[in-house]
Structure 1
Amino acid sequence: MNSVIKYCIASSSLVLMFSCNNEPGKKNTTTDTTAATHSYSYDKSFLKKHNEGAFELVSDDSTARVLLSADYQGRVITSTAEGNDGTSFGWLNYNLIGGAEKKKQFNPFGGEERLWLGPEGGQFSLYFKGGDSFNINHWQVPFLIDTFTFSLDQYSKNSATFTRKAQLTNYSGTVFDISLERTINLLSKDNVATAISTNIPANVKLVGYETINKLTNTGKEDWTKEKGLLSIWLLGMFTPSPKTVVIIPFKPVANARTFITDNYFGEIPADRLQVKDSVLYFTCDGKFRSKIGLSPAIAKPIAAGFDFEKNVLTVVIPEVHPDAPYVNSKWEIQKEPYKGDVINSYNDGPLQDGTQMGPFFEIESSSPALALKQNETGTYRQVTCHFTGDYNSLKTMARQLLGVNLDDIKK
């Protein structure tokens, strides 16, 4: 793998959000136990109390529910597979959502799928102004994907579409006139089975949704690699338990290990990251800050997490285009700005001063770099599902989907 990818201290929001949103010595007042035991009804009531744009999609039998917010850019806040009193799968930043003030650089409200745009760093960055040094003091999340409210254009019991137009300028001075459209569809059990190409046992409960994310070049010029391209970036924040493991299969190509970046925040202990010949296991208990990334050269269109404490299987189905360019978010002027990751996972953990925003864990994915001509639209789809119920049934699903034995991982 190219050294720019292998050793980049790439992005995610998360390394930054800790630095700019936690006061030194002040710990999150939402404890691990409290956050982990909040029901969906609690989170729904909490969000609606503080967020006018909150509403939900509901299945015909009322068990599968997805909570959305127009105020937070059409974000999927959380979901459940067991009705109002079921487990809430998304992580919410209760202190920030319920607080009176917004942060200047970034507002990490949480949510199990939010829409961002890349790249974060480099000469084509959307998060740094031209001439500024690449450090935390100059980093700024564009208001479009942080505090702007999106318009709710269409809404039904199981679908919602949000839109927003804006203008962005990258580090090199290229101006992008854009239109964003984001549709969230609640999926039926049959839809989910089709999406994952796997039978779902009768004793397994589920919630699944697809997001269709569209970026349109509404400007007067075509977008080119030389002036910088944009990507659609989806980030999901989920509630962990002490026994949560992220499972990511990959193509068993020669030297596959070199296409996996694991040193974003320093070395990950061997007991927390195990890389086999075609799958990796990443401990995501919210207790040790670490991050991994997979190149499109080896990534498969699937990433998953399993919570052995609650028997919850989370499956994310992104798009992967092995031969396409992906934006690089390294915080420096880059030699190869189109050699980035397609799938990432982040595990939250305490900083050196003891502060912590979560706990949560993330699964992220990105579209290829979009070289859009005038009035052309790029579309990126992703499916997210949560399954809960009988362990043996979930074990069978995990073997079919991921090629792994949950018993082996549990040991």
Structure 2
Amino acid sequence: MKYPNTGWKRLLRKAGSMCVIQTFGIVAATCILSAWSQDTAAQTSLQDKNLIQHHTPLVELSVPGSAATIAVAPAFQGKVMIANSDYPSGSTIGWINREALKSYPCTGGEVGGLERIWLGPLGSQFSLYYQQIFPLDEDNWSVPPPLATGSFKTINRSRSSIAMCMNMELTNYIGTNFQVSLQRKITLLNKRTVTKNLAVSLENTVDLVAYTTEHVLTNTGWAPWKKTTGLLGLWSANMLEGTPHTTVIIPLKDATTRDAIYTYFGPLDSTRLLLQNNLLYFKADGNYRSKIGIPPLLAPDRFASYSPEHNLLTVVTYQKTTDTLYFNSNVSIQKEPYHGEVIPIYNNGTMDYLPSATPTFYELESTSAMRPLYPGDSLSHQQTTYHFKGTPSELNHIFRQVFNTDLVKIPF
């Protein structure tokens, strides 16, 4: 399979990383999903685990009385690489680029994986992803080396959780330097915690695997962060396999029009983006480069995606605040760089927007606000992802409990 050009293959600058340990709060983690390989033949989590371990060790998390597991790769940017609700025979949860894993050496930047942490902003003159590469243009996209190839240091682990940290130095487009400590904790949850968190009842036949990730970002430099020279924010992203009828569903907080939703990359007509009764539907087939962003006043504290091909429902909740400074995805010098989105949703595709023979991935994302931080100050962000696999009736029962509406026939 040819991996589409997402910008990850472009030249990355070298940067070192080290780790400063800071006390972490208790984190819960929830992720429930059954996933399927993008290859024609089904790939089990055990097979993918063996493939990944040719490059880097994996830390496997589990909970008593459950076959659910997740595998974390500290050296691959601390990613949750794979998850499984029925290990070892079950299929991989998360999108894996197996072609990239066949290359040596491999540092994790192009291999995919179920969940990662990045830092924003993405767009504007304060972007971290165009690091003084002039002009500010999509062709000059370059993921900062710590986020593309960096390695987290494990500071604590148990059977069901792992805490990691990385120190990094970053530079935004206008040249502002940031020295930061990034801490990341991942905890696998049991069924009881899942049902309590979402206030749902689950049939015993529903498959699930669950985790939460919590992050703390600290200004370890000598200078305060200012709006005039750029701020930073936390950016959590789940990478899942796109299928022809996978749809992201976002229950907007207030009545609005489609024009209030930020859109990026390829144009989106009503076959890809639709608003009905305050429910926003976005096609996530992994085969057309497009993106939407939900601004703070419209953003709910939970959203979902649904794949009827696989009878799969994914629910995401996150730490929502009353802050107002968020980044957006516009690649331009901006007059209002802090008017952004709380929930970015990305659908991958080729740079020329032409459909490829094999669908790739889509991303369910949430962001923290950006804040001016004095040296030693921190900001945090938590995201919890729930993936449920069951019959249409079982999934509708879950969806109704979480969103107070039925999982109606997807309009695409």
**TM-score tier (shorter):** 0.7 to 0.9
What is the aligned partner in structure 2 of residue 88 from structure 1?
A: 92
- Residue-by-residue CA offset, 1:224-272 (whole Å, 9 max, x unaligned): 212210010112110233332211111123x34332123x123223222
- Residue-by-residue CA offset, 1:51-81 (whole Å, 9 max, x unaligned): 23x2211121341111110111211112111
Counterpart AA for 1:93: N
* CA-CA distance at 1:273 after TM superposition: 2.1
Q: Is the 8 A contact 1:195 1:383 kept in 2?
A: no
Matched, 1:67 2:71: yes
What is the aligned partner in structure 2 of residue 377 from structure 1?
A: 378
What is the aligned partner in structure 2 of residue 144 from structure 1?
A: 146
What is the aligned partner in structure 2 of residue 346 from structure 1?
A: 346
Any unmatched runs of 5+ in structure 2? Answer: 13-35
* CA-CA distance at 1:176 after TM superposition: 1.3
1:64-213 correspondence runs (5 A): 64-101=68-105, 107-130=109-132, 132-213=134-215
Residue 151 to residue 356, structure 1, CA distance change in 2 (3 Å)? farther
Residue 351 to residue 377, structure 1, CA distance change in 2 (3 Å)? closer
Counterpart AA for 2:397: T
Matched, 1:316 2:316: yes
Distance in 1 separating the partners of 2:205 and 2:85: 12
Q: Is the 8 A contact 1:73 1:162 kept in 2?
A: no
Distance in 2 separating the partners of 1:280 and 1:403: 15
Residue 335 to residue 170, structure 1, CA distance change in 2 (3 Å)? same
Counterpart AA for 2:374: K
Which 10-residue stretch deviates more, 124-133 or 76-85?
A: 124-133
Which 10-residue stretch deviates more, 112-121 or 282-291?
A: 282-291
Q: How many residues align?
A: 385
- Residue-by-residue CA offset, 1:114-159 (whole Å, 9 max, x unaligned): 1111112322121223372112443321111110111011111100
- Residue-by-residue CA offset, 1:21-56 (whole Å, 9 max, x unaligned): 9xxxxxxxxx9752672222222121112223x221
Counterpart AA for 1:257: R
Any unmatched runs of 5+ in structure 1? Answer: 1-12, 22-30
Which 10-residue stretch deviates more, 109-118 or 319-328?
A: 319-328
Residue 276 to residue 70, structure 1, CA distance change in 2 (3 Å)? same
Matched, 1:248 2:250: yes
What is the aligned partner in structure 1 of residue 20 from structure 2?
A: none
Distance in 2 separating the partners of 1:356 and 1:372: 46
Counterpart AA for 1:287: N
What is the aligned partner in structure 2 of residue 400 from structure 1?
A: 401
Q: Greater helix share, 1 or 2? A: 1
SS state at 1:49 partner: coil
Counterpart AA for 1:247: I
Counterpart AA for 2:373: L
SS state at 1:409 partner: coil
* 1:41 corresponds to which of 38, 46, 51: 46
1:274-289 correspondence runs (5 A): 274-289=274-289
Fraction of identical pairs, as percent: 35
Distance in 1 separating the partners of 2:9 and 2:275: 28
Counterpart AA for 1:305: S
Counterpart AA for 1:360: F
- Residue-by-residue CA offset, 1:263-293 (whole Å, 9 max, x unaligned): x123223222221131112222223332222
Distance in 2 separating the partners of 1:161 and 1:332: 36
* Cα RMSD after superposing both structures: 2.6
Q: Is the 8 A contact 1:36 1:241 kept in 2?
A: no
What is the aligned partner in structure 2 of residue 16 from structure 1?
A: 7
Counterpart AA for 2:385: T
Matched, 1:332 2:332: yes
Distance in 2 separating the partners of 1:385 and 1:93: 22
